[in-house]
Structure formats: C-alpha cells, structure tokens
Amino acid sequence: MNKPYIIGIAGGSGSGKTFFLNRFLDHFTADEVCLISQDDYYIPVAHNMTAEENKLYNFDLPATVDHQHFEEDVNKLLNQQVIYKKEYTFNNPSVIPKTLEIKPAPILIVEGLFILHFRGIAELMDMKIFIDSDEDIALQRRLKRDLIERGYSNDDVLYKWINHVVPAYKEFLLPYKNECHQVIVNNGHTAEDILKITEQISKELREKVLN
C-alpha cells in the first residue's frame, strides 16, 4: 500500500466538526478510511477533581493533550501499523472506555482542535479542512451539547466558553485558518449544505486516491 493520504479536519468548539466528519465518513468503507482523533489523547486528570476544580481547569490548551503520543500514533498508521488506544470519555464516570483498534487505510483522517498547532502533525497533511461558524451559533451548539450530554450547568458552560474556549480558539487555531485548503462555513441549521460539500470532496478523493 502506498503512503496514506492524510486529511486534517480542524474546527472550534461548536463549529459542527463532528457532524461534518460523520457525514464525510458516510462516503467510505472501513477499509478505505481510518480516523484518529485528538480527543483520545487528552491527559487524564479529571477523575480526581471536584466539580469546582473541573469547572476552573482549562482543558482548552495544547498542554492538556499528549501530543507526542498522538504524533507517534499518526506515524504508525502512516507506516501501516495498527494502533490500539483507550477512548476518551470526557470525564463521564458512567461511561466505560472502549479500547479502539485503528487500522491503516488509504485515507487517514486526523481531527481535533489543535491538530494544526501541533506542527509535527500538521506538516504530514495532504489536505487541511477548517470548519468555521459564527461565535453565537457555536456557543448555542456548545450549550446544547454540554447541558444534555455532559451534565454541566449553564453557568459552567458560559464560564468555560468565555475564559477557556474562545481564548484558546483565537490563539491556537485561528492563526492557521489561512493555510487550510478548504474553509467550510457551517452556520446552517439544516444538513443539506454539509451533505453537498462532503459529497463533492469525497468524489474528488475517490478519483485521486482510491482509483
């Protein structure tokens, strides 16, 4: 097998990165594409924290990610090695983490908030995609997700948004927006636009990489 074609998908919190990613993956089989996510490389710290400590702890910094291990695993996939990684459960004690088996494939997707900031990883990418959205829309998505899925209070979400999320986005992600091959604005409340874009990109990739 030739060297995998690496696609980096980055976007701020609430940009709709996960939805885009899932629709993109719909166009491929498991043998054609593999996914490695920055989220699974967060350094586990929250299991010993009180609720107040969790609120104040800034998870939106590159230092909270074991980026060395992350980069090593990306390179293993490039070298046709299978990797095994315990999934990150976002500090939810009711979720038992699964062991992920990630097999190399012709297309390798690397996704996460800081993947462009980690230059050793960014320089490996053949295509960089930036998912963007207006700040007020992103905040509403974050509120909905964190209130329902992660059990945070409204005040906790807003505290993290103002003090952690937005400053980190501006410092560690936004500066790399202009180096991306595609910037996709995702402000819509319907899936139609994203479906069209993922279909177009996947068609081009199928012709370029898989044929």
Q: Catalogue all structural domains in the chain, each as residue range(s) with its CATH number.
A: 5-210 (3.40.50.300)
The HSE-up count of residue 109 (CA atoms within 13 Å, CB side) is 22
Q: How many helices (DSSP H) and strands (DSSP E) are in the chain? A: 8, 7
User: What digits encode the pLDDT tens for the residues 53-63?
Assistant: 877 889 899 99
| pTM for this entry | 0.90
Question: Do residues 17 and 10 make contact, with C-beta atoms less than 8 angstroms apart?
Answer: yes
- How distant, in Å, are the alpha carbons of 110, 195, 206 from that of 199? 19, 6, 10
Determine the pLDDT at residue 93. Answer: 63
Around Cβ 26, how many Cβ atoms within 10 Å? 11
31-35 average pLDDT score = 95
Does 211 score more than 90 pLDDT?
A: no
In three-state secondary structure terms, 199 is helix
**Mean pLDDT of all residues in the chain?**
90
Burial (CB count <10 Å: 0-12, 13-18, 19+), residue 196: exposed
**Angle made by CA atoms 166, 118, 137, in degrees to the nearest 5:** 25
Does 33 score more than 70 pLDDT?
A: yes
Determine the pLDDT at residue 53. Answer: 83
Q: How confident is the model at residue 175 (pLDDT cuts 50, 70, 90)?
A: very high
Determine the pLDDT at residue 91. Answer: 62
Determine the pLDDT at residue 145. Answer: 85
Does 82 score more than 70 pLDDT?
A: yes
Distance from C-alpha of 8 to C-alpha of 28, rounded to nearest angstrom: 16
**112: which residues sit within 8 A by CB, 6+ positions away?**
10, 37, 38, 39, 65
Alpha carbon 70 to chain centroid, angstroms? 12
Distance from C-alpha of 42 to C-alpha of 182, rounded to nearest angstrom: 27
177-191 average pLDDT score = 89
Determine the pLDDT at residue 1. Answer: 54
Instruction: Please give the share of the chain, as a percent, with pLDDT higher than 70.
Output: 94
